[in-house]
Amino acid sequence: MRVSFLVPVYNTDPAILTLCVNSVLKAAAGIHEVVVVDDASDRADTRAFVDRCEKAAIDGLRIIRNSGNHGVSFSLNQAAHAASGDFLAPVDHDDVVVTPGFGQMLRSLAYHRSRWAYSDEIQVDEKGFLIRRMFKPDYSPQLLRSLMYINHLQVFSKDLFEDLGGYREGFEGSQDYDLALRMSERCTPLHVEEIAYHWRILDKTQSRSGEQLSASSVDNGQRALEEHFARKQCVAHVAPVLFKRHAHTEPEPIGVYRSRLAAKPDSRISVIIPCRLGTTKRINDKPLVLLEHCLQALGWSFVEEEASRVELILVLNAGDEIKKGEEAIVRRGLSGFAIADAPGFSFSRKCNLGAAKASGDVLVFLNDDTDMQTAGWLSDIVSILNEDDVACVGGLMQNNDRTVQSCGDNVGRDSAVHYVPEVGADGVGDAMHRYLADHETTSISGAFLCTRKSTFEELGGFSEAFPNSFQDVDFCLRARARGLRCITAPGIRLLHFESATRDAKVDYATLSAFRSYHGPGLAGKDPYAFWRYQPIYFSVFSYNGIKFRLYLIAKMVVTRARRIEKALTRRPRCWRGVLKKSEYRVV
């Protein structure tokens, strides 16, 4: 296996270009090939460095010069055409390849016989100091439709690249996204869980100026997605997600998109609410009748003609009056009915009973201690469930104080916990922007879980072996075992006054049974890298708590030392161990 690194160059700072080219030459190790394409740079010191590369006469280093400035897509295609390797690895002219990570990518490609692999990466600033670590999930198609999370380093088959016609000119700024979407239609990429790339974030590039993405990059990314759906013969609406970076700025695109397939206009929805009449809870120092409040929020959230397609099914406790439940529905101008469960509480049984009585194509299981915050959410749910391989959909749930309660579930290592990478809901969440981007998750909370009735029935509904907890995680794990996907759509937001009607405490017997039934699926790490971003909490007085706090103190000291080092650094640099000056081949 021979890899050809493709490095397009245009007016690059020679200090940065020196780091880039030498890091790639180190990774190539005289075995692989490096193809540098100068896209008619008019900066004299850039041209001088390219001249030195050519004069160095290094085996495996090829220099190509374009006759004019034709753009990055043209340059990459030129490099690929000249490449002799079986695989191609594009590298931006201001970035750095990490040799050990690249070696692991080669090992994984050979072992899995894959045609396309991508690695984790690190974002660094202009001087080379850490901005953030980007730990990526295993292939996540819904996330890829939301943003270009694959990024760098990618290594893919030259045959695959040529079959697709290479990079398409006219998609500059989003040419990698367009290619990734087209390759994903042919094969599934392999995620290699190693840092193989340092992505240098400069203040001004082709695709951005400061924090702001260029309008052409946003438009080209949107067009790449629209054409992706068209090739799949799907009618879809694609729009950029707007994000307010600062209190004093207007919302703007940040490279995240929301894609919605055309929903079936005749789909009927059954909203199933297991509840106990008269349950109250003090919210903001005021007593709240939970069911009444839930129904009021639901009524507000339906837009246009949605309410006419919705039936509400209240599944009451055995002692509740059905007539009073149906009166509550009528008071809110909604349609539906109430039924009573058998004596003895079982959340799973109540949900299954509601599903059996439902006439809708789509089932929405909703706790009565919720407050829907998003208008028009039904069309999003129906749209996402249009795809046959989607088992269920959930949203971003918040506590009463608007902090995040759950954005999917982090399931693995013998546990299942709500995913909350950061407390505030106004940020992006994690490096994958999961508070903004639709994404796959291992499990969806049963407090708001939407699924097709046919899928629910095929999976046998919620297992009544888990009457009060883990029935949602069990359902999702069984769905995923059949190759189905569970999706979190964070654009749908609701408050959840958690466990207002029942104690949320999980008994040991239930937890033990859950681990026994799903042992292999729970033993490993979460495939979507949630565990990489989940904050760790320890008791202050525990042994691990003391160790963790000592770690935080050490981290604070190192952070301050890095700030001093950064202030004293004048030239761009590589991380220690990535590239030494003694390893430079071209200076």
Cβ within 8 Å of residue 332, ≥6 positions away: 295, 296, 298, 299
- 572 has pLDDT over 60: yes
* β pairing state of 116-124 and 190-200: parallel
pLDDT of residue 63: 94
- 503 has pLDDT over 50: no
Both 192 and 58 in a single domain? yes
CB 144 within 8 A of CB 184: yes
Question: For residue range 237-255, what is the model confidence (pLDDT) as tens digits?
Answer: 999 999 988 888 888 899 9
Tell whether 513 is covered by a domain: yes
Q: Residue 252 and residue 239: Cα distance in Å, rounded?
A: 12
Both 436 and 307 in a single domain? yes
- Number of Cβ within 10 Å of residue 496's Cβ equals 21
pLDDT of residue 500: 42
Q: Residue 529 and residue 510: Cα distance in Å, rounded?
A: 26
Both 280 and 199 in a single domain? no
> How large a percentage of the chain has pLDDT more than 90?
58
Question: For residue range 431-462, what is the model confidence (pLDDT) as tens digits?
Answer: 999 999 999 998 999 999 999 999 999 999 99
Cβ within 8 Å of residue 577, ≥6 positions away: none
* β pairing state of 362-366 and 269-274: parallel
pLDDT of residue 206: 60
Strand partners for 449: 365
Q: Residue 376 and residue 124: Cα distance in Å, rounded?
A: 39
Both 199 and 273 in a single domain? no
Last residue of a domain, one of 514, 533, 552: 533
The pTM of this model reads 0.90
Report how far apart, in Å, the C-alpha atoms of 489 and of each of 142, 260, 401, 485 are. 10, 11, 21, 13
Q: Residue 247 and residue 167: Cα distance in Å, rounded?
A: 38
Span of 58-62, 421-425, 508-512, 565-569 with lowest mean pLDDT: 508-512
pLDDT of residue 98: 96
Question: For residue range 122-162, what is the model confidence (pLDDT) as tens digits?
Answer: 999 888 888 999 999 999 999 999 999 999 999 999 999 99
Q: Which of 141, 128, 148 is nearest to 185 (CA)?
A: 141
Both 128 and 276 in a single domain? no
pLDDT of residue 414: 64
Q: Which of 127, 107, 65, 116 is nearest to 87 (CA)?
A: 116
Tell whether 229 is covered by a domain: no
Both 197 and 308 in a single domain? no
Both 181 and 324 in a single domain? no
- 413 has pLDDT over 70: no
Q: Residue 170 and residue 216: Cα distance in Å, rounded?
A: 10
Cα–Cα–Cα angle for 203, 209, 215, rounded to 5 degrees: 155
Both 185 and 280 in a single domain? no
Tell whether 231 is covered by a domain: no
Return the exposure string of 309-333: e unless at least 16 CB atoms fall within 10 Å of the residue's CB, then b: bbbbbbbbbeebeeeebbebbeebe
Range of the domain at 362: 269-533
Both 276 and 198 in a single domain? no
* E strands present in 343-389: 362-366, 370-372
Question: For residue range 521-558, what is the model confidence (pLDDT) as tens digits?
Answer: 676 777 887 888 877 777 777 888 888 888 889 989 98
Residue owning tokens 């999706």: 487
pLDDT of residue 209: 61
pLDDT of residue 320: 87
pLDDT of residue 207: 60
Tell whether 215 is covered by a domain: no
Number of domains observed in the structure of the chain? 2
- Residue 146: left if φ>0, alpha if ψ -120 to 50, beta else—which one? alpha
pLDDT of residue 523: 64
Both 192 and 307 in a single domain? no
pLDDT of residue 393: 96
Last residue of a domain, one of 179, 203, 227: 203
Measured in residues, the chain has a length of 587
Tell me the CATH number at 152: 3.90.550.10
Both 199 and 56 in a single domain? yes
pLDDT of residue 25: 95
Tell whether 300 is covered by a domain: yes
Give CA torsion, residues 422, 426, 432, 437, to 10 deg: 130
Whether the link from the prior residue into 153 is cis, omega within 30° of 0, is yes
Both 509 and 426 in a single domain? yes
Question: For residue range 7-58, what is the model confidence (pLDDT) as tens digits?
Answer: 999 999 999 999 999 999 999 999 999 999 999 999 999 999 999 999 988 9
DSSP conformational letter for 583: G
Q: Residue 251 and residue 249: Cα distance in Å, rounded?
A: 7
Last residue of a domain, one of 533, 550, 575: 533
Q: Residue 354 and residue 314: Cα distance in Å, rounded?
A: 8
* β pairing state of 485-496 and 439-441: antiparallel
- 103 has pLDDT over 70: yes
Local structure of 124: helix, strand or coil: strand
Q: Which tokens sit at 424?
A: 């505030």
Question: For residue range 288-345, what is the model confidence (pLDDT) as tens digits?
Answer: 888 899 999 998 898 877 788 899 999 998 888 889 888 889 988 889 999 998 888 8
**Long-range CB contacts (< 8 A, 24+ apart) of 382-387?**
382/263, 382/264, 382/267, 382/269, 383/260, 383/261, 383/262, 383/263, 384/260, 384/261, 384/438, 384/487, 384/489, 385/450, 385/451, 385/452, 386/261, 386/262, 386/263, 386/264, 387/261
Q: Residue 123 and residue 121: Cα distance in Å, rounded?
A: 7
Helices 347-357 + 471-481 axis angle, to 10: 60
Mean pLDDT over all residues of the chain? 89
pLDDT of residue 506: 66
Q: Residue 560 and residue 553: Cα distance in Å, rounded?
A: 11
Tell whether 264 is covered by a domain: no
